[in-house]
Structure 1
Amino acid sequence: MATEVTVPVLGESITEATLGEWLKQPGDPVAVDEPIASLETDKVSVEVPSPVAGVMGQHAVAVGDTVQVGAMLATIDAGDGAAASAPAPAPAATATPAAAPAKDESGAGYGDQPGAGTSDSPAALSPSVRRAVLEHGVDPGTVKGTGRDGRITKEDVTAAASSKPAPAPAAAPAPAAAPTASGRGEERVRMTRLRQTIAKRLKEAQNTAAMLTTFNDVDMTAVIEARAKYKDLFEKKHGVRLGFMGFFVKAATMALRDIPSVNASIDGDDIVYHDYADISVAVSSPGGLVVPVIRDADQMSVATIEKTIGDFGKRAKEGALKMDEMKGGTFTISNGGVFGSLMSTPIINPPQSAVLGLHRIEERPVVVNGQIVIRPMMYLALSYDHRLIDGREAVTFLVALKNAIEDPTRILIDL
């Protein structure tokens, strides 16, 4: 007897999704609650668990298809999924490690799952992993997966390719033949639903808001020194590393309190002011940029903020962020500096009215007390809706943020 697997309820006002990838192929053993497919919604990826144990039946939809909530995805045939997944005593079983590979917190969780002959099947791999396998010429059967449940990620393929020894040169190489493709190949890949939503929302923001960007720079000396002095004690007490984002989020909430229009939004002909600060933090995920929200960040300590951001980053790579964690937000902080960005003009995240862009820290000559000195400097960029926020308010906000970062004692005594 076969059990139908349907599209689960995805969240308020979400009625459809796109099938991102199949995590189980027909004939694979399936355990209860084991993910069999990944769905892409407008905000996050959602894994669909199996309601019963058994054997994977036929797929009812293909990767890239749009499915409605309640629609059938596949069937699970009756059978002992746990017994089927146990390693057989046959000699061929030695190709599969006896112990499951350890999970890597940095894994993206979008690869394939090893075992049952699926890890070396190109059709079973996610699109990004398949592309990496073809580009690097790596046999997926020899790659140890570090993603969720041991699935292969693109980073695993890249690491395997970099460690692969270069082939020995032939003793008498034949004359090189003219390349057939001349390195001008093309590949057409369908946009993920998340990428389509990002594109749509960013363009709507440009078309709706009167966007303007104001810049300033900040001397990171004091924060760097404080971090170097207390990072070991901080990690020992709180179980999380002390980074720079905790300082910036806390400083931003203080500046938002002083300049409430930067924390406000436009609703028709009304201006909505918020007496709380829900900070959206841009996080990179395998499917694109997502912005989970730190609720009531103004009431949090730096340690709590760092823990929350760390948890968001880990689960974004695993595709495990929840719908409710992506909703709302009164102000956004995007840190392009982790990728090496020197300066940018970030786009606001509607209905918010402002976004703060952080950039890389680099040593530059600056004048301090009449002397030219070398200091670690960072450019700050505040993009805002000029319909609501005046230039004076934008500059005042950046100056308040700059003062707090250059003198972190202000954050401690709430000045």
Structure 2
Amino acid sequence: MEELKFRATPAARALAKRLGVSLLNVEGTGPKGRIHKNDVAGFNYVKKIHVSPLARRVAEEQHIDLNGISGSGHNGKIMKDDVLALVSDPQVKAFFTRDELYGTPPAGIKVAVAAKAATNAQASQQVAAVSNSTDETEMVPMSMMRKVIARRMSESYFGAPTFMQTWEVDMTEMNALRAKLIEPIMEKTGKKITVTDLLSLALVRMLLKHKYINSSLSEDGNQIIFHNYVNLAVAVGLEEGLIVPVVKHAEKMSLSELVVAIKDLTARTVSKKLLPDEQMGSTFTISNLGMYGVSHFSAIINQPNAAILSVAATVKKPVVINNEIVIRPMMNMSLTSDHRLIDGLVAAKFMTDLKALIENPFSLLI
């Protein structure tokens, strides 16, 4: 095959190589069609494809992708013959190339095409029958909430390089503090304090001391945004999907105020009365599955947060303290971090301080 030749400036060639643009597709504006740098920079990848109605019909029925096809019509318009050149079935090609296309087709060709369509339809019906004739499977469309969750989780999982660190924490003192606070918090707020409430308060205190953990990446990916406040998102699971209501400016709240705020947001999330604004603006997220007996897990980051804390169940187990084996309530917590913003040492320092605060939580009240 004769090699296609074209004229292009060195700058145009360099830019095309960097952008992955084929110069064969770029129209030059220079003398004798020479391609300049601006021609490459302005190359339109999403140029509209012009297709004749008949060519589109053939392409749709034969499942032919029209992207990249050079048409023989005016201004590159894709015509019927351009698409038929890609059809391998001679009977189908004969059907679409005959002169009486809009009249009654010859009986033999009509029967062949109809038989092929009937076979495809029968196959589809058989698949549907297999799917629906038994109670073993059920196919339902995804809800809008599920679609949004799927899209956001995919963007987070595939878009951010992450790493996980898991720490085991002794919950003896935290449980003791909660036991002492249940009655006074109930009298003051009418709410029952939970481990999640105390962990949330500990998180807020630590996030203000570790700015990278409470940061986010700018949209262009060139700047780190440090937040001098804590908007804490608390993951709430529903049958329809996961929702993360946000406690705004949690750093300004006392323990009682934080308990009330978390309980209020959770209740309105479950009753589906949460406002759109109350699901936005988080700087960090906590996800607790401990109440379901989960021993350990690593959650996916709630973008644009830089990290998320996963809290597992508290389990009594033997541990060595002062060279003696004792039974203590131990909990696993994992930090999933965006490696673009957080390095392993930074995450380890944060988790070390958080573990120390959880194991000596009385300083939370000071």
In the alignment, is residue 389 of structure 1 matched against residue 342 of structure 2? yes
Partner Cα distance (1:327, 1:241) in 2: 26
Q: 2:206 aligns with which of 238, 252, 255?
A: 255
Does the Cα contact within 8 Å between 1:283 and 1:312 map onto a contact in 2?
no
The letter of the residue matching 1:200 is R
Partner Cα distance (1:307, 1:287) in 2: 25
Partner Cα distance (1:229, 1:185) in 2: 51
Partner Cα distance (2:240, 2:262) in 1: 18
Task: Please give the secondary structure, in 2, of the residue aligned with 1:262.
Answer: coil
In the alignment, is residue 217 of structure 1 matched against residue 168 of structure 2? yes
The letter of the residue matching 1:288 is G
Partner Cα distance (1:214, 1:366) in 2: 20
Q: Percent identity?
A: 37
Report what 2:146 is aligned to. 195
- Per-residue deviation, residues 251-288 of structure 1 (Å, max 9, x unmatched): 11121122100000111200000100100110123421
Report what 2:319 is aligned to. 366
In the alignment, is residue 324 of structure 1 matched against residue 277 of structure 2? yes
Does the Cα contact within 8 Å between 2:232 and 2:283 map onto a contact in 1?
yes
Pairing of 1:114-263 with structure 2 (within 5 A): 184-263=135-214
Task: Please give the secondary structure, in 1, of the residue aligned with 2:217.
Answer: strand
Task: Please give the secondary structure, in 2, of the residue aligned with 1:272.
Answer: strand
TM-score, normalised via structure 2 length: 0.62
RMSD of aligned residue pairs (Cα, Å): 1.5
Partner Cα distance (1:232, 1:253) in 2: 23
Partner Cα distance (1:334, 1:382) in 2: 10
- Per-residue deviation, residues 124-146 of structure 1 (Å, max 9, x unmatched): xxxxxxxxxxxxxxxxxxxxxxx
What number of residue pairs does the alignment pair up?
233
The letter of the residue matching 2:170 is D
Using the TM superposition, give the Cα deviation of residue 368 of structure 1 relative to its aligned residue in structure 2, in angstroms: 1.1
Partner Cα distance (1:388, 1:324) in 2: 26
Does the Cα contact within 8 Å between 2:168 and 2:331 map onto a contact in 1?
yes
Pairing of 1:87-102 with structure 2 (within 5 A): none
Q: 2:305 aligns with which of 352, 360, 363?
A: 352
Report what 2:354 is aligned to. 401
Runs of 4+ in structure 1 deviating by more than 6 angstroms, as ranges, are none
Comparing 229-238 with 294-303, which one deviates more in the overlay?
A: 229-238
Partner Cα distance (1:404, 1:352) in 2: 22
Task: Please give the secondary structure, in 1, of the residue aligned with 2:259.
Answer: helix
Structure 2: gaps (5+ residues): 1-131
Report what 2:44 is aligned to. none
Comparing 282-291 with 371-380, which one deviates more in the overlay?
A: 282-291
Task: Please give the secondary structure, in 1, of the residue aligned with 2:325.
Answer: strand
Structure 1: gaps (5+ residues): 1-180
Partner Cα distance (2:239, 2:196) in 1: 21
Using the TM superposition, give the Cα deviation of residue 315 of structure 1 relative to its aligned residue in structure 2, in angstroms: 1.2
Task: Please give the secondary structure, in 1, of the residue aligned with 2:138.
Answer: coil
Report what 1:411 is aligned to. 364
Query: Would you tell me which structure has more strand in proportion to its own residues?
Result: 1
Distance 1:277 1:260, change over 3 A: same
Task: Please give the secondary structure, in 1, of the residue aligned with 2:341.
Answer: coil
Using the TM superposition, give the Cα deviation of residue 410 of structure 1 relative to its aligned residue in structure 2, in angstroms: 2.0
Partner Cα distance (1:250, 1:231) in 2: 15
Using the TM superposition, give the Cα deviation of residue 183 of structure 1 relative to its aligned residue in structure 2, in angstroms: 6.9
Task: Please give the secondary structure, in 2, of the residue aligned with 1:233.
Answer: helix
Report what 1:67 is aligned to. none
